[in-house]
Chains A and B, each alone.
Chain A
């Protein structure tokens, strides 16, 4: 299955301009709030009509502004899990799950519902009402209600944002398991949490102010963001402006506020790079000195976390954010170490 989306939608002070092709597996749509993540899902589901563009899954056209096609939501055969699950409060678990099977044979419905209840670990909860269930159980009902209709496409809108922190990790894996076992098509998952997206997704689509800033396999996106907006969305803390740049045979030399930083040789393909970036956990502390990318530093600020601390250091006039495990922190602060920026971990960014 292939979902291809190319839409434009204008709302008073906001413009959505998305274009992507998602394959089977989970594609995470990530971005800060107000970037158009949920709007994209709503357009795909037909809850909102775009101004222009085309949405199709395989050969089935949902929307096409050229041929004036706009299939009604109820005929799109889509699965959708809402942020707050949107269960029918006046119907019990069984009735909620059977809601999308209207018109089918009574006995078939009964069998399907009971099978589904087993899959989502809710046997025995048939007669409960949504308000009698925990958040995680409600989420599983919502998922069951939609999976039972055998949708062509599954859309998940911030499915974990309404859950308690301490149960989130567990439920995340549970949900992932249920989806992988019961659904093989395209899944779009909207979230603003990069960690969650990285754990759950295969591909990532980064959205910023209604525009796609990067789209690709999750590791590629995370290891090599292409532009400043993408780097910010994936949570890169060190984004440095380059003053000048020189390409040599053995690498690329960048001048950042009078500090010389080397990156591995790579083709810039005429990209107008303006910044370099490095993840905080990729910055290392070493004994060597006077090597390329090794600098003396001064600690500015330390925030001690549960297992990891973030240490802000100064190199020349550059501020760098680093992540240090709590076991190492005293070693780093006590000894005269140097900071090392591994050239292979540094990446160029377009402004």
Chain B
């Protein structure tokens, strides 16, 4: 027990929280845009966004490597001008988790936005509110239930990612080894005991977090029935 290393757990939580935060910041505006327009461009964007749900995580990881790797133009640019390396760092793990989880948030938020009665939004406009203001005072509160479930799903997906993270961030112990990878690693090394322990910790932590999110969701949506 003394040599139990909890770094993978904390890394996993940190990566999942950061990825979910970015998913909210990037995903909500995209969901809002997709809900407002139904042209060909938005259909295309919608399809591309859904792709990570369908593709194997390894394929996604491969794309990310090609796109952000040290040989790619983006990778070179980031490294030269900002001294940022994505591949084989926790940043890479966050990006991998973000890409696999953001579709869940966007899908849920979009369908939640679409259930809002358009005349309620028009009423807000007529009463003099700006689009920006309407987004925060009408759209978000009314779509909150759907958005919250999207956040839960995104967080769960980010916490559990294996394939994409492994491809982009690798499995460097105490640097980029997240919980799912650590479990796989333990199993490969024949350390059944460690694997069991890690699985139990992972399950417990996931249960607790999901329960807390659900409670929070119920409290906030009771207020905004």
Chain B interface size, as a band, is 10 to 19
A149 touches B122 (CB 8 A): no
Interface string of B113-154 (1 = CB under 8 A from A): 000010110111111111001000010011000000000000
A86 touches B127 (CB 8 A): no
Q: List 28 A-B contacts (CB under 8 A).
A: A45-B126, A47-B125, A73-B122, A73-B126, A74-B127, A74-B128, A78-B126, A80-B123, A80-B126, A82-B123, A83-B119, A84-B117, A84-B119, A86-B119, A86-B122, A88-B120, A88-B138, A89-B224, A90-B141, A90-B223, A90-B224, A99-B124, A102-B128, A102-B129, A102-B133, A129-B225, A145-B127, A146-B127
Q: Knowing A82-B123, A86-B117, A86-B119, say if A74 contacts B129 (CB, 8 Å).
A: yes
Docked Cα-Cα span, A47 to B127, in Å, equals 12
Closest 5 CB pairs of A and B: A100-B127, A90-B224, A86-B119, A86-B123, A73-B125
Chain B residues near A79: list those with CB within 8 A.
126
Docked Cα-Cα span, A165 to B142, in Å, equals 31
Chain A residues near B225: list those with CB within 8 A.
89-90, 129, 131
CB-nearest residue of chain B to A157: B119
Chain B residues near A129: list those with CB within 8 A.
225
Docked Cα-Cα span, A73 to B138, in Å, equals 17
Chain B residues near A89: list those with CB within 8 A.
120, 142, 224-225
Docked Cα-Cα span, A77 to B125, in Å, equals 10
A82 touches B125 (CB 8 A): no
Chain A residues near B124: list those with CB within 8 A.
88, 99
Interface string of B187-225 (1 = CB under 8 A from A): 000000000000000000000000000000000000111
Chain B residues near A87: list those with CB within 8 A.
120, 123
CB-nearest residue of chain B to A83: B119
Interface string of A37-75 (1 = CB under 8 A from B): 000000001010000000000000000000000000111
CB-nearest residue of chain A to B131: A74
CB-nearest residue of chain A to B224: A90
Which A residues, 93 to 125, have Cβ-Cβ distances below 8 Å to chain B? 99-100, 102
In the assembled complex, the CB of B128 is this many whole angstroms from the nearest CB of chain A, namely 5
Residue of B119, B122, B124, B126 with highest tally of chain A CB at under 10 A: B126
